[in-house]
Structure 1
Amino acid sequence: MPSFTKPFTQFRILLIPAIAAFIYLYFYPAINDCAFAPATRTKSQCDASGCKNTTVSAGLPPFRLLALADPQLEGDTSLPSGWNDGASANLKRIGENIFAGRWDILRRDLPVLLQGYRKKLDLWGNDRYLANVYRQTRWWAAPTHTVVLGDLLGSQWIGDEEFERRARRFWGVVFGGAEKVPKSVTAAERRVEVLGEDKSWKRRVIAVAGNHDVGYAGDLSEERIERFERSFGKANWEISFRLPNASLDGELDYASRKTPDFYAGPGPQPELRLVILNSMNLDEPTRSPAMREQSLEFMSNSICDSDRIDTKNTATVLLTHIPLHKANGVCVDGPFFSYFSPENGGGIAEQNHLSEDVTHQIFDCLLRNKPAVVLNGHDHEGCDTQHYHNPENIKERKTIRHNDLPSLTPEEKQSALREITVRSMMGSYGGYAGFLSGWYNEDQSKWEFAYETCGFGVQHIWWVCTIVLCVEIGLAVMSGMDALTQKLLEPETRRKVKEA
């Protein structure tokens, strides 16, 4: 009869749960169907390649954006008061209190020490949880581009030293192996690249400024913007990606194309514009009117200037942090503004949405440059909506959930703009990621988009899987050592050792 205290017996008992934990931890994107929606095949593509209907998938779309939101990395400000003196200082103080018989002080210091270690472990696990979400979705879904839609860090009030520490954890642990978009790309006023040509984009992470990174309009300063841009890249910038021309590839023929990665039609090459917009100071009152004017000017030039933007065969993806204004009940977060006291400047201290005026401006500009889609964060629960004009009063804008889009009239659909608020990747919200697909429909001469989302599950699942795997590895080592010890204790083994 086997002894259940033996390491090998325990190893065998835990083997199946450990295998299940390993499979879910590293293959959850496959299990939960975390993937980009495939591009749809056009009628001309079907006619050329001989497919029977256009519902047949055309394969992976040429533009695949992995969208993550609000990781909110915490740090020393989340540790209990007194912990920042250092663990050794706390231990020394506890020892002194024991020898001095000051048990009342000991009762105060010991919980601080234990709570500090617990929080340190929690921060360590949270970083690895977020890293697992990014690493596994990126590996499985194979995005062409990645964006984090603001609130990269957990507080705008932290000092420069703590900001740098969290930034190093962001790049070194959570997004290990990734790199920020270089200045040579973000500094260009009108940069155009061929989509898929620069493989570096698969490693780059586009960082959007959020309120926990630079503050709201009432406390956003040049110093905060400078340190954000130093660690994560420019706050306002744009870039265009042009589909490669099939006629430029001597070995490629239109009839042989299985995916919409190339363009073989007449007219200008289709372009997809990414606009990264700092929405933190678009509303007022603001601490720095000059910085607000810079953001408004960038917004006007990048999405509103029709003379500058060639709308033929072009689409826009707007990446920002604060959602557009919408009525109460459409999403979890309703409209909300709060302000600092007059003694502290009277600026915006907090907001859930952009104001109606700024929202109307963005909506009207993007409507002139359709097709377009807006991606943002901030509302941790996530939301998927459609904004549209009232046909009887074009000054009236309405918002519905994206799933209710079929209920709109053709006139209303014509003015519809999709806004996707990506659910947070934090553990308490299930570790979600968004998958935006983009491809060019040659028959309709326009870009099309599709969006999918999925999550890992709450952070407790990651902890259980990790602990089970660690225990199983420990039991495997102990089983090996136990087997070796038993072998050495056998009489024949001892005799051979003595003879040697």
Structure 2
Amino acid sequence: MRRRQPPLVTAVRLADYRLTTRTVQFLAIGLAVFVAIPLAIYTFYYPIFRSDLCNWPSATYNPRDLRLLLFGDPQIRGASTSTSLRTRLDIFGNDHYLGHIYSTLVTRLDPTHIIVAGDLFSSQWISDDEFDVRARRYKNRIFRQPRAPQVTPAPVLLNLSGNHDIGYAHDVTRTRVRRFEKHFGQLNFIVTGDDFRIVVFNSMSLDGSLDDNEHGQAGFTRDVRTFLEEHMKVNFEGTTILATHVPLHKPVGVCIDKPYFSYYGDKSGRLIREQNMLSEGTSQWILNGFFGETGAGRGVIINGHDHEGCLVRHTKMQGEPRWSVVPIASGGTKYEYYYNNTNSDSNDGVLQVTLRSMQGEYGGNAGLLKAAWNATTQDYMFSFSICPFGVQHIWWATYVVAIVAVCANVIAFIGLPWLDEKARRAISGQQSSVNFFVAGAKPQKFD
């Protein structure tokens, strides 16, 4: 008795192949539509989803307006010959993560000024060659400046020195200062406009000892104090914006960081090893010098250093040449704040913005400080907000998922149909051979 082949075996096997292919295609489309595309939309257009924090508060334009885009403490790391591949990949990704935040906001917000408030690199102890390598990465991967002619003027980029760039007071050396200034400009300088001035200064040396001449550190202290004293004496009637790295003194509990100082040796605590903020005496000197002992001066102070971020007002104490501190917000609080630069009774004092770090672990933050010109009062009205992108894993996930989704769709819509076609031909050929013998035909021999 002859055994017959099941009649639908070919159709069933082909159906199984096609069902598997369709399932993979649906999964590939789902990965692209529901995961990869939403991630990409957020990553490249995230300011739209945080428009209350990531946009200037007013669409009105005045040529006198200042739009300051602020970044704190990128602290980019470096690699050595012994660095693992995983660490090198992490460094590469971190550079492009920070660069993505910068380029996205610059393109969308069209700032007039960009300020990076110090600690560009993660360590002042690196060699000159490594400093040059990181400087190139900083300029080419992260804070890239436009090279082609622009329709609108390119923003002014101000790179401030931080303790991880040149060291604290006793660690500052000529070599460290020279290499920083080679790539990023002077430690102390001023940018002026018709109604404002931005005063940039090296706060790491302000509390240094004037007797600390072992490596010339006293010279840096004299330089920055002389620089500030010269500009304090100028009868400037506009708005003063102070930009530095180390924040002014604040009592315990005002910000997350509390006052902290450590020193080298036992020379009466004069050789600073580390400090969280400037001394109280130096802070009072700065406030009185730039904003007047009467509190009549107008302006804003910008700084980094405290990675958590903080917003305060320094207010003049009645009848005394001293200033107190009024807390506004600190840490990762989502806020936008308006500051009337006219020092009215309802909004007295000088605003100090301590930028939350733009590092991934703190959320990839940028500060938006707008000075809107008020033609009636002939002065600026400031607004400030912190714009977070999110942790660096979002950037990584966007690119990894996009690559996986593209590969999955290529396999699903090109690779698997090609394999299905091969399987169909193989199964059809096998079935034809079976039917030939099942029909009882005799094989023919060909010469």
Q: TM-score band, normalised by the shorter chain?
A: 0.7 to 0.9
1:360 positional shift: 0.5
Structure 2: distance between partners of 1:400 and 1:225: 35
1:320 is matched with which residue? 244
Letter in 1 for 2:187: A
- The reply on whether 1:169 has 2:137 as its aligned counterpart is yes
Deviations 1:67-124 (A, max 9, x none): 0010000012xx6xx715xxxxxxxxxxxxxxxxxxxxxxxxxxxxxxx111111111
Q: Percent identity?
A: 33
CA distance in 2, matches of 1:2, 1:141: 49
The structural deviation recorded for 1:176 is 2.8
Checking the alignment, whether the CA contact within 8 Å between 1:382 and 1:423 is kept in structure 2 is: yes
Question: For residues 28-81 of structure 1, what are the alpha-carbon distances to aligned partners after superposition, in whole Å with 9 as ceiling and x for unaligned?
Answer: 111112434335xxxxxxxxxxxxxxxxx63477210100010000012xx6xx
| Residue in 2 that maps onto 1:119 | 87
Q: Given that residues 29 and 409 in structure 2 are in contact (C-alpha distance below 8 angstroms), is that contact kept between their aligned partners in structure 1?
A: no
Report the secondary structure of 1:399's partner residue: strand
| One-letter code aligned to 2:386 | T
Q: Tell me, yes or no, if structure 1 residue 212 matches structure 2 residue 164.
A: yes
Q: For 1:213 and 1:27, how far apart are their aligned partners in 2?
A: 32
User: Counterpart of 1:384?
Assistant: 311
Specify whether residues 339 and 468 from structure 1 end up closer, same or farther in structure 2 by C-alpha distance, changes over 3 A only.
Answer: same
In structure 2, do the counterparts of structure 1 residues 465 and 414 end up closer, same or farther at CA, with 3 Å as the change threshold? closer
Q: Which structure would you say has the larger Rg?
A: 2
Contact 1:131 1:173 in 2 (8 A): yes
Alignment of 1:401 onto 2:357: no
Pick the aligned partner of 1:290 from 219, 236, 247. 219
Distance 1:472 1:374, change over 3 A: same
- SS of the counterpart of 2:171? coil
Partner of 2:430: none
**Inter-CA distance 360–405: structure 2 relative to 1 (3 Å threshold):** farther
Shift of residue 14, structure 1, vs aligned partner: 0.2
- Assess if the C-alpha contact under 8 Å between 2:288 and 2:321 holds in 1: no
Per the alignment, residue 274 of structure 1 pairs with 198
Q: Compared with structure 1, are the counterparts of its residues 412 and 221 closer, same or farther at alpha carbon in structure 2 (3 Å cutoff)?
A: farther
Maintained 8 Å contact 1:65/1:436: yes
CA RMSD of aligned residues (A): 2.8
TM-score (norm 1): 0.71
Q: Does 1:23 align with 2:41?
A: yes
Aligned to 2:185: 233
In the alignment, is residue 349 of structure 1 matched against residue 278 of structure 2? Answer: no
Q: Does 1:73 align with 2:91?
A: no
Return the alpha-carbon distance in structure 2 between the equivalents of residues 346 and 235 of structure 1: 22
SS of alignment partner, residue 121 of structure 2: coil
Check conservation: 1:2, 1:9, Cα contact below 8 A: no
Which amino acid counterpart does residue 202 of structure 2 have in structure 1? N
**Equivalent AA in structure 1 for residue 218 of structure 2:** P
The letter for the 1-side match of 2:240 is T
Amino acid at match of 1:394: E
CA-CA distance at 1:349 after TM superposition: 0.8
Q: Choose from 419, 423, 429 the match for 2:352.
A: 419
Q: CA deviation at 1:484?
A: 7.3
1:4 and 1:241, CA in 2 relative to 1: closer, same or farther beyond 3 A? farther
AA of the residue aligned to 1:122: D
SS in 1 for 2:94: helix
Report the secondary structure of 2:320's partner residue.
Answer: strand
Taking the TM superposition and a 5 Å limit, the aligned residue runs for 1:191-206 are: 199-202=152-155, 204-206=156-158
1:299 corresponds to 2:251: no
In structure 1, the gaps of 5 or more residues are: 40-56, 85-115, 180-196, 243-270, 492-500
One-letter code aligned to 1:209 = S
Counterpart in 2 of 1:12? 29
Deviation at 1:486, TM superposition (A): 5.4
Cα displacement (A) at 1:478: 3.0
Do 1:171 and 1:178's aligned partners in 2 also have CA atoms closer than 8 Å?
no
SS at match of 2:169: coil
| CA distance in structure 1 between the aligned counterparts of 2:410 and 2:245, rounded to whole angstroms | 48
Separation in structure 1 between the aligned mates of residue 271 and residue 410 of structure 2, nearest angstrom:
60
CA distance in 1, matches of 2:412, 2:177: 55
Alpha-carbon distance in 2 for matches of 1:68, 1:178: 18
Aligned mates of 1:467, 1:405 — CA distance in 2:
40
In 2, Cα distance between equivalents of 1:297 and 1:421: 25
Counterpart residue identity of residue 221, structure 2 = R
Q: Kindly provide the amino acid, as one letter, of the partner of residue 137 in structure 2.
A: R
Mapping of residues 148-167 of structure 1, within 5 Å: 148-167=116-135
Instruction: Report the Cα distance in structure 1 between the residues aligned to 2:320 and 2:246, rounded to whole angstroms.
Output: 24
- Could you give the per-residue CA deviations for residues 340-381 of structure 1, whole angstroms, max 9, x where no partner exists? 2259x9621100001111101111123237320001000000
**Structure-1 separation of matches of 2:192 and 2:56:** 22
Q: Find the aligned partners of 1:58 and 1:400 in 2 and give their Cα distance.
A: 31
